[in-house]
Structure 1
Amino acid sequence: MTMSTRKRVLGGLIVTSVIVALAGCSAPPPETEETSGGSTAVEGFLPCMVSDAGGFDDKSFNQLGFEGLTRAAESLGVEPVTVQSDSESDYGPNITSLVDQECTLIVTVGFALSAATVEAALANPDINFVIIDDAADNDFDGTVDAPNIKPILFDTAQAAFLGGYAAASFSTAKKVGTFGGQPFPTVTIFMDGFAQGVDYWNSEKGDTVEVLGWNRDSQDGVFTGGFSANQDAINSAQGLVDQGVDVLLPVGGPIYQSAASVIRDSGRDIAMLGVDADVFETDPSVGDLLLTSIQKLIDVGVEDAVLAAGAGDFDPTAFIGTLENEGVGLAPFHDFEDKVSPDLQGELDTITAGIIDGSIPVESYLSK
């Protein structure tokens, strides 16, 4: 598959090059006067945003990006411009439309917009760009492809490790499953971190919980081919449910809605994990199914970047969210609080400390 090939190349070259350059830049941007709220933007500042095909109401990373932009714009006293993409063919034209509207900062939401973002940034060096979930290294030479692009990245394998451990602790079937939209590194990082957490549970407890839908050795698994809550997503979830999983991690924006429908139709007690946002909060309709959510604080990263640019201090240095800087994390158990082991949270706290101090290694394309 072409997409799978791109994943492996990116997962290899960024590991050995881009991340070397970015690793020293993983702390959050320093707080400026403008981050305290009620500030005035530099003259002519106009922040804008392009969604990916999931749309701004995906209750996931597009929505989080939009919320971060909105908060920053309100603080700066400006009115942002947003444009929604309905398909991949919209990415380039949507960015061009924002250039034509004289946007001074353009935030593109998602790795799928990488090529269009780089092209626009190179053609418009006086406009600053922020891209979420991509290193903007489309020629794989180890550097960001344009000096006016700031990548916002998240080492979600660390938080997914915690999610996998929690899933293994909760599972009585000894089978947990995961599936993704497309095999981009920013999708598979969840799946692989999840599997590592299950492996850690097994090694610590002498257990045999199995992960279906992802193979750590081949770095491949079950994918729907897109990021829509459609029949392909239903089929992927159904295949895992039919194999007996009692915990399910769908990775890819709205595809969790398809997973939820399959779980409800099954008549079985199957827990689900959300991704990106705390889905219990963003979509209460599935709250009763959610063991927890694997979070990345996209809204905070976007808000900081927009506030800095609005103050005239745009910094293209990449931000990498980790457990240590609280850019990623595990959401509360909410309705499952009384269903999980009373020892689980304490164990997760200990594991978190171990991941932060390096005594518990978590592999990802952002950490190698």
Structure 2
Amino acid sequence: MSTKLKSLLALSSSALILAACQGQDAGNADGGADDTAQTEDVVDQGADDATNESTDGEAGGSGSVGSEDADFAIAMVTDEGGVDDRSFNQSAWEGMQAWSEETGGRAEYFQSTNSADYIPNFQQAATQDFDIIYGIGFQLEDAVSDMAASNPEQHFGIVDSVVEADNVVSLNFADHEAAFLAGAAAALTTEKDQIGFIGGIESPIIDRFETGFLAGVEEINPDIDVDVQYADSFSDAAAGQQIANGMYTAGADVIYHAAGAVGNGLFNETRNRLESNPDEKLWAIGVDRDQEDEGEWDGGNFVLTSTLKQVGTAIQLATEHAKNEGFPGGENIQYGLKNDGVDLVQGNLSDEAWAKIQELRQQIIDGELEVPEFSREW
């Protein structure tokens, strides 16, 4: 496999949490999509509630669901992508809203527009008696570490990183496994043998996506060219659109993004091109949540598939464990294909391609196929 362009350029578990994950149907991605749809019904209502209760905080504002008198309350601080990034942060907030709806607990988000907002948002949350405050994304690692050290009685959570402290639970995901399946799906679908990957910010987390994706493409056809580019952002949709434009112009017909709200630019560019030339065959692959709704256009839907990252589910499970069994402080809980922490939806994949994906999926779960996690030492 050749990479045409690359620019800008442990395992610990909680028995109750993993048992809850393993109780789900790991082989039914369509069922997972149904669950997502049901959750989104709750989320749509919750989003309205959060909007009605939003306030101008010291940083990027906040919103909440649930009663102020709830017996358990959780909060999250977003990364720069924001709570409505249609991806990573939104998945976390959707899970928190679903938890609030199911349990009667209170949930609140504190939105960050840049890294300068992280500490002020955590400080604001720490004054409001939340049982757990979650930092969403590896960019908040330092902020969580600092806040945990200065607030030893407050419980924190970090997603996509590890903070070694007794008052912090770390939630991590085998993103490379789902990305591998996305790479295989792209390779099975491309008609031009040219594929693109758009990353957000170069980091161990996004390298995991890139490495898995490239390995999946190579598993199907090592002669396919993959154009890898980074936006150096998780929020700049214009940069995403510019990168996608260049990739499509160079001949790519399938592009996967692991870039948060930057991916909205990919969707915009794909839609614009298809509306200008309906006979063109272009596909985008979503990330973190089923993003098929982003692919609607007059001629159908251009989102081929999406990798799922059950951030919201992980937060719900960690929260319920803390509420019922005690806070799992100091633990690093890993979620992968085997326990439904990550996955791929069928979306618009052909039945033939989906059958191959299911075969590869099972091989990974059974340990017959090992997916590389990183391209280099971090």
How many angstroms does 1:343 deviate by?
2.2
* Alignment-derived partner of residue 174 in structure 2: 155
How many angstroms does 1:211 deviate by?
1.2
1:108 aligns with 2:129: no
Give deviations 1:152-184, integer Å, cap 9, x for gaps.
Answer: 111111111111111111001011110111012
Within a 5 Å distance, the mapping from 1:239-258 to structure 2 comes to 239-258=246-265
Q: Select which of 106, 115, 122 maps to 1:79.
A: 106
* Alignment-derived partner of residue 196 in structure 1: 215
How many angstroms does 1:24 deviate by?
5.9
Counterpart-to-counterpart distance in 1, 2:158 and 2:13: 19
Q: Select which of 227, 231, 236 maps to 1:212.
A: 227
1:164 aligns with 2:183: yes
1:91 aligns with 2:118: yes
Within a 5 Å distance, the mapping from 1:1-368 to structure 2 comes to 21-23=10-12, 28-31=17-20, 45-136=72-163, 144=164, 146-202=165-221, 208-213=223-228, 222-266=229-273, 267=277, 268-281=280-293, 283=294, 285=296, 288-311=301-324, 313-316=326-329, 317-333=331-347, 336-337=348-349, 340=350, 342-365=351-374
Preserved contact between residue 230 and residue 255 of structure 1 (Cα < 8 Å): yes
Preserved contact between residue 93 and residue 312 of structure 2 (Cα < 8 Å): yes
How many angstroms does 1:306 deviate by?
1.3
How many angstroms does 1:81 deviate by?
2.6
How many angstroms does 1:210 deviate by?
1.6
Change (3 A) 1:163 1:285: same
Give deviations 1:233-263, integer Å, cap 9, x for gaps.
Answer: 2222222112100000121111121112222
Give the length in aligned residue pairs: 314
Preserved contact between residue 165 and residue 201 of structure 1 (Cα < 8 Å): yes
Give deviations 1:59-106, integer Å, cap 9, x for gaps.
Answer: 111111112222223333222232111111100000000111122210
TM-score by length of 2: 0.77
Residue identity over aligned pairs, in percent, reads: 28
How many angstroms does 1:46 deviate by?
2.5
Preserved contact between residue 14 and residue 328 of structure 2 (Cα < 8 Å): no
Once superposed, what is the RMSD of the aligned Cα atoms?
2.6
Counterpart-to-counterpart distance in 2, 1:303 and 1:201: 36
How many angstroms does 1:134 deviate by?
1.3
- Could you list the runs of 5+ residues in structure 1 that have no partner in the other structure? 1-7, 9-20, 33-41, 137-143, 214-221
Counterpart-to-counterpart distance in 2, 1:25 and 1:351: 27
Preserved contact between residue 177 and residue 211 of structure 1 (Cα < 8 Å): yes
Counterpart-to-counterpart distance in 1, 2:212 and 2:174: 9
Which segment drifts farther, 357-366 or 80-89? Answer: 357-366
Preserved contact between residue 91 and residue 113 of structure 1 (Cα < 8 Å): yes
Counterpart-to-counterpart distance in 1, 2:371 and 2:12: 15
Amino acid at match of 2:281: D
